[in-house]
Structure 1
Amino acid sequence: MTTPRARSGALLALGSMSCVQLGLAASVGLFAVVPPEGVAALRLGWAGLLLLVIARPRPSSFTRSSFGAAVLLGVVTAGLTMLFMAAVARIPLGTASAIEFLGPLGVAVLRGRGRALLWPVLAAGGVLLLTEPWQGGTDLLGVGFALAAACCWAGYILLTQRVGDEVTGLQGLAVSMPVAGLVSAVAASALVPDLGGALTWPVLLVGLGLALLLPVVPFVLELLALRRLAAGAFGTLMALEPAIALLVGAVVLGQVPSVLAVAGIVLVVTAGVGAARTGDRRPDDGPRVAREASPAVG
C-alpha cells in the first residue's frame, strides 16, 4: 500500500518535472527577444549566482580530483542546456525532450540486467514515430541538437554521480553551476556578438525568474522527493518527463501532437520506466546521487 510519505514524494517529483517543462516553455517564449544561446546563458548565469550565494562553496570540501570533476560537470551542463535550447527552437518541446531522454535511458540500459536490450528498441521506435523521417519535413538540425543534448545528459549523469559520491551537500553544484554560467556566457557571446544589446533590465529580470523556475526550484523539489521515495520509484516517475513535455508543449506553446507523436511518447516513456526498473546502481557502486535521474538544466 502506498504511504502518505511516498505519495507526497511522488507529488514533489511531478512538481519538479512540471517546473522544468514550464521553465522550458517560458524560455521558448523569450526567443523572440533573445536567441536560444542567450536564453541558456541568462538562465545558467543567474542560477550560478544564486547557488554561489546559497551554498557558498568551501575549498576544504574538495580534493583536486573532485574539484576537477565539478568543473567538468559545469562544462557539460552548459553544453546540455545550450544544445537543448537550440533544439526546442527548431522542433516541438515534446519531441526534443523525448530525444534528449535517450541519454539517461542509455546509461540505465548499460547498467541494466535481463531485458535491458528491449528498452532501446522501444525508445528508437518512439523517436521514429515522433520525428516521422519518411515525411521529409523534420528539422534534422533540431534533431541533431537534441541528440547532442542526450549525449551531454548521459555525461551529466555520470559526472553528477561522481561529484555526489565525493562531495557533500550542495558544494559540488555550487561549483558546477557557476562554471556552467561562465562557459555559456562566453559561448553565447562568441555565437551572438550583439547579444549584450538584447539584455535589457526587463529581460534580465525575466532571466532571474527562469533561473528560479529552472533549475533552482526543481532541484529543491527533487531533493525533497528523494527523501521520501526509493531511487527506483524516483527513476520510474522521472521517465514520465517526455509525456509532461508533450502536454506542456500542447497547452502552453500550442504544439498539438499527432497521433503518431503520442504513440512515440508512449514508447519512450515505457522504455524509460523499464530501464529505470532494471538499471539501478549495484550496492557496491557507492551512494546514489540525488540528481541521477533528471537534470533541471535542460
Structure 2
Amino acid sequence: MQNSLGQRVLPSVAVLASVSSLCLGTSFAKHLFPVVGAQGTTALRVGFSALLLLAIWRPWRFGPSRANLRQIAIFGAVLGLMNLLFYMAIKRLPFGVTVAIEFIGPLSVAVLTSRRWLDFVWLGLAATGLFMLLILPMLGVQVGHLDPLGLLYASIAAACWAGYIVLGKRAGHMHGGMVVSLGLLAAAFVVVPFGIAEAGAKLLSPSILLYGLAVAAVSSAIPYSLEMFALKRLSPGTFSTMLATEPAIAAIAGTLVLAEHLSLVQWSAIGTIMVAAMGSALTSRPAPAVAPAPQKAAGDAQALV
C-alpha cells in the first residue's frame, strides 16, 4: 500500500519540486540584472546549462546526422530567443505575470491543432486573463502598472514557446537528451553575443561565474532531472496539468524573493490563465504513440525559462 501511494505521490512531488526549483532559480537570477543586465544573465544561465547538459548526455554518442544538426540548430535558436526575451520581460514585469503571459504560447498550439469546441473555451478563458492584465489598465481600471515594452517581450517569448513546441515535436524521432543538449548549445550561440555586448568582461568575474553556475543548476539541471523522473511515471495530461501551476509558483517566488507584490486583479488573471492551461491538459485527447519530444523545462522549462 505504501509503495503504491509512493508511486502515485512521488512523481507529482517531483513536478512541483521541479517547477519550484525553476522559479526560485529564475528569481535569484534576477539579482544579477543590476550587474550584468538581463542579456548577460541569460548568457550565463543558457551557457552553463548547455555545458551541464553536454556533460550529462554527451550527445556525440548518438551520431547525429547533418540533417539532425540542422533541425536541432533551428530548434535551439528559437529556444535561445525565447529565453532571451523572457529575461528581458522579467526585467520590466513581475515574474508571475510574465510566466502567465508566456503560457498563452503552448495553449494556443493546443487549440490551433484541435477542432474541438471545448479547446476554444480554454482559449477564451486564457484570453479573459490576458484582458484583465492588458486591457483593463487601458480602460482606467486600477490593476497595477505593466511596462508596455515588457509586455511586448513576454508576448514574443510566448510565440517562441509555441514555436519551440512545434519544432520539438518534429524532433521527437531523435534522442531527447541529444536534442536538448545540442539545442541548448545552439541557444548559447544565439544569446551569448548579446550577453557579451551588454556586460562585457563583467561576465568573467569569478563571483559572477559562480553565481551563474548555481543559477543554471537550480533553474535547469535540477528541474530537468526531476521532470525526467516524473515523465516516466505520469500521464502527459497529469504532467501538463501540474506544470500549469508554474505561473502561481512564479508569482509566489516573485513576492518572497523579489518583493514583487501583485494586485488582486493580477492574481485573478494569473489564476484564470492557470485554469485554462489545466483545463486544456485535463481534457486533451491522447496523442498517437511517438518518441517523446523534449519538454520546456529540459531546456528552460521550463527547461529554461
Q: TM-score, normalised by structure 2?
A: 0.90
One-letter amino acid matched to 1:233: T
Q: Which residue of 2 aligns with 1:103?
A: 105
**Contact 1:61–1:171, Cα closer than 8 Å, also in 2:** no
Which segment drifts farther, 64-73 or 76-85? Answer: 64-73
Q: Which residue of 1 aligns with 2:216?
A: 211
Give the CA deviation at 1:59.
6.5
Q: Which residue of 2 aligns with 1:42?
A: 44
Pick one of 139, 145, 151 that aligns with 1:143.
151
**Contact 1:31–1:39, Cα closer than 8 Å, also in 2:** yes
Give the CA deviation at 1:292.
5.8
Determine whether 1:117 maps to 2:120.
yes
Aligned partners of 1:279 and 1:95: how far apart in 2?
25
Give the CA deviation at 1:158.
1.6
Determine whether 1:171 maps to 2:174.
no
Q: Could you list the per-position Cα deviations for residues 31-90 of structure 1 after superposition, in whole angstroms to 9, with x for gaps in the alignment?
A: 111100000001111111112222112275323332222111111111011100000000
Aligned partners of 1:143 and 1:122: how far apart in 2?
19
Aligned partners of 1:272 and 1:104: how far apart in 2?
9
> Taking structure 1 as reference, are residues 4 and 60 closer, same or farther at Cα in structure 2, changes over 3 Å only?
closer
The 5 Å alignment of 1:7-156 reads: 7-58=9-60, 60-112=62-114, 113-131=116-134, 132-134=136-138, 135=140, 137-156=145-164
Which segment drifts farther, 248-257 or 275-284? Answer: 275-284
Give the CA deviation at 1:27.
1.1
> Taking structure 1 as reference, are residues 64 and 277 closer, same or farther at Cα in structure 2, changes over 3 Å only?
farther
Aligned partners of 1:280 and 1:211: how far apart in 2?
34
Runs of at least 5 residues in structure 2 that lack an aligned partner in the other structure: none
> Taking structure 1 as reference, are residues 198 and 168 closer, same or farther at Cα in structure 2, changes over 3 Å only?
closer
Give the CA deviation at 1:226.
0.8
Q: Which residue of 1 aligns with 2:191?
A: 184
Q: Secondary structure at the match of 2:119?
A: coil
Give the CA deviation at 1:197.
3.2
One-letter amino acid matched to 1:289: A
The 5 Å alignment of 1:208-287 reads: 208-280=213-285, 282-283=287-288, 286-287=290-291
> Taking structure 1 as reference, are residues 3 and 255 closer, same or farther at Cα in structure 2, changes over 3 Å only?
same
> Taking structure 1 as reference, are residues 168 and 125 closer, same or farther at Cα in structure 2, changes over 3 Å only?
same
Give the CA deviation at 1:95.
0.6
Q: Secondary structure at the match of 2:59?
A: coil
Pick one of 282, 285, 303 that aligns with 1:296.
303
One-letter amino acid matched to 1:232: G
Q: TM-score, normalised by structure 1?
A: 0.92
**CA RMSD, Structure 1 to Structure 2 (Å):** 2.0
Determine whether 1:159 maps to 2:167.
yes
Which segment drifts farther, 166-175 or 257-266? Answer: 166-175
